[in-house]
Chain A
Amino acid sequence: MASHNESIIREPLVTGTDITYAKVTNDVLKPVENMPTKAWWIGFAIASLAACLWVFAVSWTFWYGIGSWGLNKTVGWAWDITGFVWWVGIGHAGTLISAILLLFRQNWRNSINRSAEAMTIFAVICAATYIVAHMGRPWMAVYSLPFPNQYGSLWVNFNSPLIWDVFAISTYFSVSLVFWYTGLLPDMATIRDRATGIRRRIYSVLSFGWTGSVKTWQRFETVSLILAGISTPLVLSVHTIVSMDFATSLEPGWHTTIFPPYFVAGAIFSGFAMVQTLLLVLRKVLGLENYITMFHIESMNKIILVTGSIVGVAYLTEFFIAYYSGGEYEQYTFLNRFVGPYWWAGCMMYGCNVLMTQMMWFKKVRTNIPVSWVLSIVVNIGMWFERFVIIVVSLHRDYIPSSWAMFYPTWIDMSIFIGSIGVFFTLFLLFIRVAPSIAMAEVKLLLKSSSEQAKKKLMDDGHVDESHAEFYKESLTKFDSVELSQYEKA
């Protein structure tokens, strides 16, 4: 029931003192119902220019072939797979927020899930483009599907992790899309019912005729819960299978059983960093400080800290196992990360992912917005280098020293990478203009229980233990969106 009072010692999930249901709608739909601001146009111009660079570089690749990349006989996988794993990993946070946090009844997910899911979809699109691009001849993609053919039929090899990956990524993308869009329907209906003319017609189609009747909501909630239930193992399976692309090989540095949990933790780690990067800007630019509060920022930073530490433990385990195994190739690979020609990449990986994120133990760091934003970028850089180290640094020292080589990216490699970031931001910027970036219906659920005003009312009515109230007021001091003066007189 909406009237359920939440314990006072829990921090509020919606701040502000005059938040009504109508205000939630007005605040969230402001960017959707008005002309874009100058900041949006500047961002969009830059992002779409980068996206054009992507189109150009990928076209160049398709025209001239993979030879236009910096690959060589020894390093046959480099920035392409690095970029692929990086983007897939980033995508994981959205599903984690929308599915796993739903199962754990973490209500703070309600205001960040929509944009995080959108981010998931766009990140997986970027990842999928890498898969197609790295085939060189994109029409060959059809051979990853088990279609009857003239060679026998010779079927695709279902013993291969690469085929598992085809199934995992395509399932992940389409299920995430369904989850995201089903959740969007009520909010699309809100836009429709406020719009007129052609906009109403467009949103009428997009909202599938949603009305919000009792039965619709009841079924909607069942669907959301089951989708969350199946997306949870799905998201874990996706990066597990991505890691198996490496782990099932015999390459030192790849051939380790710790890869699945290590990759999944790393994926959540980098994904939350990207959510943080986007939302810290989003809340400021769109004026959503009351909905994406300091509590959300700190919670995400805590997840980044936990997953970053798990990744750190995985790194240590890798080193220990290399030492303990006694295998000299294995030992060389890990030593080489520090003393080889790619020592700087290794330092970026370990420095950004493990050392820098340990700063999040300090509350001052977790609740400082500029520092959090910079750290989220640092994590993204670190996680890109993690994949680069795993892929290129493991490959560049072959078993035969005469095959040892370095990888030098060409301008095409770089353009595709920069371009994919452009594609991502172009899609994201378009998304915040056409769809609500916060799940309005779900935030409205919080207003009567977990909002600052509901808690203030409880305190004003005198239903609250004095020591609990003091504890609560103390916790409010970190919020940048709370007017503290109104609590002093009480």
Chain B
Amino acid sequence: MSSTKFILGLFDDPDVMMHGIDKLQKNSVPIYDVYTPMPIHGIDDKLGIKPSRLGYAAFMFGCLGGTTIFSLVYYFLVHDWPMNIGGKPAFAVPDFIPVTFEWTVLFTAFGMTITFFFATHLFPGRAPRVMDFRATDDRFVIAIDAKGNIPHEDITNILKEAGAVEIKHNDRKYVSYE
């Protein structure tokens, strides 16, 4: 019984790696995740990852921001302390538009980014869960959970045939821990 936990296929070219994903899938090898130094379009489709719903979150945060500041300004200048400025109406909607716009943008940006960080578990101090240190540099890494995916030799051969420059059998899931 080997102690291998994860099999990593390291590619030096994104297109070859995409080809590798196809090959693995053709052979019914489930892929755990793929780590790349840059966004590669199309992997998410291959791995069946649904499109991000962050756009909906952004829209909702924007609505919240706009509503918040407009209600506040309405309360300040119309309800709580209406000012007589040359006899003009206190409920001066055009004047409220700039700040409403600014807070719509502000809430959208912060709300969406914080949602992104939350959903992706990104925050300062989080221990990086790195499977291979070169995945942020020049290697495109396909990670395969070794458990249940046997024999490992077959997977190694598939990766080798697909053009992986290096294949690793890691005993630890993450190499970034001390």
Contacts and interface: CB of A to CB of B under 8 A. Distances in A.
A1 B55 contact: no
B93 to A, nearest CB: 11
A133 interface: no
Interface residues of A, number: 68
Interface in B102-129: 102-103, 105-106, 108-110, 112-113, 116-117, 119-129
Nearest to B132: A193
Given A171-B105, A217-B40, A186 B52 contact: no
Of the candidates A21, A189, A204, A241, the one having the most CB atoms from chain B within 10 angstroms of its own CB is A21
B119 A219 contact: yes
Contact of A155 (B76, B85, B99): B76
A186 B37 contact: yes
B163 to A, nearest CB: 14
Contacts of B85: 159
B123 A208 contact: yes
A442 interface: yes
B80 to A, nearest CB: 7
A21 B137 contact: yes
Interface stretch (B1-9, B10-18, B22-30, B153-161): B10-18
Given A223-B54, A227-B112, 20 more contacts: A2-B14, A21-B137, A22-B137, A158-B76, A164-B99, A168-B102, A171-B102, A209-B122, A210-B136, A211-B128, A211-B131, A214-B44, A216-B120, A217-B40, A218-B51, A222-B116, A226-B54, A230-B58, A241-B98, A441-B37
A418 interface: no
B134 A2 contact: no
Given A1-B41, A216-B120, A226-B108, A193 B81 contact: no
A481 B38 CA distance: 25
Contacts of B126: 208-209
Contact of A21 (B37, B44, B120, B125): B37
B124 A205 contact: yes
B137 A213 contact: no
A223 B37 contact: no
A158 B99 contact: yes
B38 A442 contact: yes
B136 A155 contact: no
A220 interface: yes
A226 B55 contact: yes
A138 to B, nearest CB: 23
Contacts of B35: 211-213
Nearest to B131: A211
Contacts of B98: 161, 164, 167-168, 237, 241
A205 B126 CA distance: 7
A448 B116 contact: no
A242 to B, nearest CB: 11
B38 A189 contact: no
B73 interface: yes
A175 interface: yes
Interface of B: 12-15, 18, 33-44, 47, 49, 51-52, 54-55, 58, 62, 72-73, 76-77, 80-81, 83, 85, 92, 95-96, 98-99, 101-103, 105-106, 108-110, 112-113, 116-117, 119-131, 133-138, 176
Given A192-B128, A212-B35, A218 B138 contact: no
Nearest to B41: A1
A171 B103 contact: yes
Of the candidates B18, B51, B101, the one having the most CB atoms from chain A within 10 angstroms of its own CB is B101
A171 B109 CA distance: 10
| Interchain residue pairs A-B with the least CB separation, the first 9 | A209-B126, A21-B138, A155-B76, A22-B138, A208-B122, A164-B98, A217-B39, A2-B14, A222-B52
Nearest to A444: B38
A458 to B, nearest CB: 15
A273 to B, nearest CB: 26
Of the candidates B38, B54, B130, the one having the most CB atoms from chain A within 10 angstroms of its own CB is B38
Contacts of A168: 98, 102
A222 B96 contact: no
Contact of B18 (A1, A206, A442): A1
A155 B81 contact: yes
Nearest to B73: A158
A226 B106 CA distance: 12
A215 interface: yes
A25 B137 contact: yes
Given A2-B15, A217-B36, A194 B137 contact: yes
B112 A209 contact: no
A214 B113 contact: no
Contacts of A186: 37-38, 136
A126 interface: no
